Amino acid sequence: MRALVVHGPGDVRVDERPDPVAGPGQVLVAVEWGGVCGSDLAYWRHGASGTAVLRRPLVLGHEVAGRVAALGPGVTGVEPGTPVTVHPATPEGDLPERLAGRDNLNTRVRYLGSAAFDPHTDGGFADLVAVRADQVRVLPAGVGTRLGALAEPLAVALHAVRRAGEVAGRTVLVNGAGPIGCLVVAAARSAGAARVVVADIAPEPLAVARALGADEARDLGSGDALPEDVEVVFEASGVPAALGPVLRATARGGTLVQVGNLPGGSARAVLGDLVTREITWVGSYRFVDEVTDAVRALGAGLDLAPLVSGEFDLADGVAALERAAGPGGGKVLIRLGGAA
């Protein structure tokens, strides 16, 4: 089979690899579509994503959807040919009782397309991938694998909105209109937010956010300012310099959800308003089982088509990464296997 493999910084190739086989309790998925994530770009650019350092070649990709190709021994309840998306996480570590049900905070979680542990966990940018049967989520009628590949990043956004508490009937600000920020816009709108304001430094991603339900766009690169006194704020840029203005935009006693990944090292930021305005600042990391909610939302008609900004064949995987790393916003998809 073919697979998109990162060998080191700046070195991504389409390699031939042996076809995987579905073992006991596993499902073999013929992957049709995959979405490029920031972690894929980080491995390609730097040979590392956060603290996960590439030590050997790694198949990229964790936002994938396809069709069941074969069932391993003992697997029932799903038939070959069924369209599915995949929950990419495999918790392996310990979880204290106080964190019961929050598997995303497990001390050791393997993730498709991740170099966090050695041996690495190969991802799904391949013609075939074998996963546990409990990792697959059947796509509802009317939801194809192309948009089904967006269920994983949508789950990240749904988890962030859940971390904010009740958003129905409230005004929401999303700072940063990258793919996750745009999906937070869609998730907040789906959760009943009365008004959604989005801010970014470029007009192209703001246009995507508007198409996904934002009521107002603030172009910070053209001199617009963040709104004032917003009850619920999502910081999705991950830029430390944005923290001061975003905290100031948060209403006294309001909630700020940090969903954008911040640097692992030291960074300058103005944080005084966190104390004087008594802001509740919470982190949001990946998701638990919100991928199931994401599939349900897609089946109920949540239209994420405006998010897709480019489509590339697997053979053009490097071009897909280059497009995803460039300006313009949106989500870049890679077409694999027998995708139409």
Nearest Cα residue to 14 out of 145, 113, 127, 120:
127
Mean pLDDT confidence for 227-236: 98
Residue 217 is predicted with a pLDDT of 98
Taking the whole predicted model, whether its pTM rises above 0.75 is answered as: yes
- The helix/strand/coil state of 292 is helix
Number of Cα atoms under 13 Å in the Cβ half of residue 238: 16
> CA distances (Å), 92 to each of 104, 118, 279, in order?
11, 14, 34
Handedness of CA 102, 287, 284, 293 (dihedral sign): negative
Would you list the DSSP string of 84-126?
EEE--EEE-S---GGGTT-GGG-S-EEETTB-SSSS-B--S-B
- The helix/strand/coil state of 233 is strand
- The helix/strand/coil state of 331 is strand
- The pair phi, psi for residue 5, each rounded to 5°, is -120, 130
How many CB atoms are located within 10 Å of the residue 122 CB? 21
Contact 144/300 with Cβ under 8 angstroms? no
Residue 138 is predicted with a pLDDT of 98
- Greater model confidence, 201 or 340: 201
Contact 47/146 with Cβ under 8 angstroms? no
Percent of the chain with pLDDT over 70: 99
Mean pLDDT confidence for 58-64: 98
48 sits in which H/E element: strand 48-49
Contacts for 83 with CB less than 8 Å, ≥ 6 apart: 65, 66, 67, 138, 139, 143, 144, 145, 148
Rounded Cα–Cα distance for residues 46 and 142 (Å): 39
Domains of the chain are: 2-149+304-335 (3.90.180.10), 155-283 (3.40.50.720)
Residue 184 is predicted with a pLDDT of 98
pLDDT digit string, tens, across residues 287-323: 999 999 999 999 999 999 999 999 999 999 999 999 9
Rounded Cα–Cα distance for residues 303 and 89 (Å): 25
**Bridge-partner residues for 305, per DSSP?**
none
Residue 153 is predicted with a pLDDT of 98
- In eight-state DSSP terms, residue 320 is H
Residue 339 is predicted with a pLDDT of 64
Residue 266 is predicted with a pLDDT of 86
- Whether 340 shows a pLDDT value over 80: the answer reads no
Q: Which two tokens stand for residue 229?
A: 């006194």
Mean pLDDT confidence for 227-246: 97
- The helix/strand/coil state of 271 is coil
Query: Which alpha helices (H) appear in the chain, and where do they start and end?
Result: 38-46, 145-148, 151-163, 179-190, 203-211, 243-249, 272-276, 290-299, 317-325
Amino acid code (one letter) for 138: V
Mean pLDDT confidence for 242-247: 97
Residue whose entry in the numeric block shows the structure tokens 């508007």: 210
Percent of the chain with pLDDT over 90: 94
- Whether 83 shows a pLDDT value over 80: the answer reads yes
Rounded Cα–Cα distance for residues 244 and 268 (Å): 10
Rounded Cα–Cα distance for residues 224 and 173 (Å): 14
> CA distances (Å), 299 to each of 3, 81, 140, 141, in order?
29, 18, 5, 7
pLDDT digit string, tens, across residues 299-309: 999 999 999 99
Contact 123/58 with Cβ under 8 angstroms? yes
Contact 54/48 with Cβ under 8 angstroms? yes
Residue 14 is predicted with a pLDDT of 98
Amino acid code (one letter) for 313: D
